[in-house]
């Protein structure tokens, strides 16, 4: 499941084999194996508010995870149960993931920026039995506690509170030894909710093999990671696939120190300062954050940077960012492509000579990617169609939680259909053409309009609502809402601000509409569905 010892792309493709063992547990490979052979090696560096770093070794990580695993078992959490993690980039986030995997339960990472409605839906849909969080999120939890009866246990890393137990206090008396479950690669380990165009978000359930599926992409996209002295960091929340599966878990697997820090709000100068102070060599930075960093004048001369690899994706990187990276740092950005259901399948790798301006890259060794038509038939070079990935593939999700029909619809035969349109040239380079659905791509997040529209309609002034993506230079797209008001209400700047706040507080900071247009009516099909294409054109 690791790349062969070669930098030749054809050799890598020909010689790569998955070879995942019959028993495979994420906790065993990212923590236990290192704790036994290199206990004092640094696993994490927790960067605090004053930018000082607190190292956490593998043995410290293991002992804490063992204590938490024993606490979870003693609290009635069993294999297959969902345990939610609502935390920023802290050591406890890593500890929680490892402990959950150890007992064979399913980790449910949730982003700090989720509002009450987004959290309530995910708790109830997943059937989460427990939550590990921090005091900063308790006001949201208390607001919906009565509406999530299945949530039996809540622990806070900041100590006990009203109706909440202190995590460290509860762990104190637990044993620091635990036998990690001997899970199979397909046993459920992790569920991340992803947005679609219709209906509420879907839980993409992954097996323990998902980590193995990411490893060649991490090695390839980081120019043959790891190299001596590598240290990896991302500003992306560890609750997202980009932060968790592109950085935290692979970094721990490879024995590369992971730098963690919570930004209250992303600050490009602070990001450069952190990278210099903690000698970050490998980064995963979404394009929107890179665009903000590009505004910092002369960072390479202002900061003592030691960057070896720039790794980015989630939206198009674009030529301007590529040119800036070469001019400022003397290196290209290795672009990646994938989605929560099937990540890191196309990439560039400058060290292997795989780079072409305007292209996403080529298929990562171990993955078979093609452009297919509506019947799942691969198309010839240059012809546009759906970007698809052939199964079986260990990086693929197991299913959409509780939605067998949606799971079936994700495939045509043995091809997983990504929902994106593209082309592939005669040399095997893939190019992104556009989406074939209404998902909004903003600052690297994939946002489904359905959840936003449902929230908007909950506001007493809103009769009808439609959300679309509007092109934006910084974020790729912003959310724009078209709204028909109920009788008795008039569109105004004050009402617009009120509605924006309403959505932001209930869903997430990245999902609220940054622009609102009040309309007399919306374009509808004969069956009453909003024609979002016309609204996108209008936006």
Phi first, then psi: give them for residue 409, nearest 5 degrees: -70, -15
Tell me the per-residue pLDDT of 241-288, one tens digit each, with 9 for 90 and over.
999 999 999 999 999 999 999 988 889 999 999 999 999 999 999 887
* pLDDT confidence of residue 173: 96
* pLDDT confidence of residue 369: 98
* pLDDT confidence of residue 76: 98
Q: How many CB atoms lie within 10 A of CB 433?
A: 15
* pLDDT confidence of residue 447: 84
335 vs 350: CA distance, rounded Å = 10
Q: Which has the closest alpha carbon to 214: 39, 3, 416?
A: 3
DSSP secondary structure code for residue 245 in this structure? I
* pLDDT confidence of residue 458: 86
* pLDDT confidence of residue 528: 52
Which helix (H) or strand (E) covers residue 404, if one does?
A: helix 404-409
Q: Which has the closest alpha carbon to 20: 381, 437, 482, 396?
A: 396
483 vs 464: CA distance, rounded Å = 6
Could you give all domains of the chain from N- to C-terminal order, each with its CATH number?
31-207 (3.40.50.12780), 440-538 (3.30.300.30)
Residue 279 makes CB contacts below 8 A (sequence gap 6+) with 229, 231, 306
274 vs 303: CA distance, rounded Å = 10
266 vs 263: CA distance, rounded Å = 6
Q: Would you say 204 and 340 are in contact if contact means Cβ atoms under 8 Å apart?
A: yes
Q: Would you say 81 and 54 are in contact if contact means Cβ atoms under 8 Å apart?
A: no
Going through 117-226 in order, the beta strands assigned E by DSSP cover 130-133, 153-156, 165-166, 188-194, 202-207
191 vs 189: CA distance, rounded Å = 7
Which segments of the chain have a pLDDT < 50?
526-527
In percent, how much of the chain has pLDDT > 90? 81
Helix boundaries (H) for 395-513: 404-409, 449-457, 493-506
Residue 16 makes CB contacts below 8 A (sequence gap 6+) with 3, 4, 216, 365, 366
Structure tokens at 231: 């240290």
* pLDDT confidence of residue 527: 43
Q: Would you say 201 and 121 are in contact if contact means Cβ atoms under 8 Å apart?
A: yes
* pLDDT confidence of residue 190: 98
* pLDDT confidence of residue 189: 98
Structure tokens at 305: 């940077």
3-state DSSP assignment of residue 31: helix
* pLDDT confidence of residue 464: 84
């Amino acid at each position: 499941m690791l790349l062969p010892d070669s930098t030749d792309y054809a050799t890598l493709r020909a010689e790569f084999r998955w070879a995942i063992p019959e028993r495979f547990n994420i906790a065993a490979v990212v923590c236990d194996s290192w704790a036994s052979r290199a206990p004092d090696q640094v696993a994490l560096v927790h960067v605090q508010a004053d930018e000082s770093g607190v190292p956490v070794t593998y043995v410290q990580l293991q002992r804490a995870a063992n204590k938490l695993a024993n606490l979870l078992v003693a609290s009635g959490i069993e294999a297959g149960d969902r345990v939610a993690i609502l935390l920023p980039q802290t050591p406890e986030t890593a500890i929680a993931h490892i402990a959950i995997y150890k007992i064979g339960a399913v980790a449910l990472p949730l982003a700090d920026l989720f509002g009450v409605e987004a959290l309530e839906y995910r708790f109830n849909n997943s059937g989460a039995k427990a939550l590990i969080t921090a005091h900063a999120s308790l006001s949201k939890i208390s607001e919906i506690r009565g509406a999530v009866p299945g949530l039996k246990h809540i622990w806070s890393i900041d100590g006990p509170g009203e109706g909440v137990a202190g995590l460290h206090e509860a762990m104190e008396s637990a044993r620091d030894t635990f036998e990690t479950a001997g899970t199979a690669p397909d046993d459920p380990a992790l569920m991340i909710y992803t947005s679609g165009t219709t209906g509420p978000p879907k839980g993409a359930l992954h097996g323990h093999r998902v980590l193995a599926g990411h490893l060649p992409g991490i090695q390839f996209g980081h120019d043959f990671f790891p190299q001596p002295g590598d240290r990896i960091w991302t500003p992306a929340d560890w609750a997202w696939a980009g932060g968790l599966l592109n950085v935290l878990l692979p970094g721990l697997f490879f024995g590369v120190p992971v730098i963690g820090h919570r930004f209250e709000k992303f600050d490009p100068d602070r990001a450069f300062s952190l990278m210099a102070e903690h000698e970050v060599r490998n980064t995963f930075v979404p394009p929107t954050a890179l665009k903000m960093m590009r505004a910092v004048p002369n960072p390479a001369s202002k900061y003592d940077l030691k960057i070896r690899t720039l790794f980015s994706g989630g939206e198009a990187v674009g030529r301007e960012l590529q040119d800036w990276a070469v001019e400022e740092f003397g290196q290209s950005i290795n672009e990646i492509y994938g989605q929560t259901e099937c990540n890191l399948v196309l990439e560039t790798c400058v060290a292997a000579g795989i780079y072409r301006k305007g292209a996403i890259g080529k298929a990562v060794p171990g993955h078979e990617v093609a452009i297919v038509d509506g019947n799942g038939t691969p198309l010839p070079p240059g012809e546009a169609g759906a970007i698809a990935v052939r199964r079986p593939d260990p990086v693929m999700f197991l299913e959409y939680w509780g939605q067998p029909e949606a799971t079936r619809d994700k495939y045509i035969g043995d091809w997983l259909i990504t929902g994106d349109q593209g082309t592939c040239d005669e040399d095997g380079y893939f190019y992104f053409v556009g989406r074939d659905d209404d998902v909004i791509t903003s600052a690297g997040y994939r946002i489904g309009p359905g959840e936003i529209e449902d929230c908007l309609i909950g506001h007493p002034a809103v009769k009808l609502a439609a959300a679309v993506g509007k092109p934006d230079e910084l974020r790729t797209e912003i959310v724009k809402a078209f709204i028909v008001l109920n009788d008795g209400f008039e569109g105004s700047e004050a009402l617009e601000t009120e509605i924006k706040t309403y959505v932001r507080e209930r869903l997430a900071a990245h999902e609220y509409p940054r622009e609102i247009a009040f309309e007399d009516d919306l374009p509808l099909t004969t069956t009453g569905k909003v024609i979002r294409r016309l609204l996108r054109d209008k936006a």
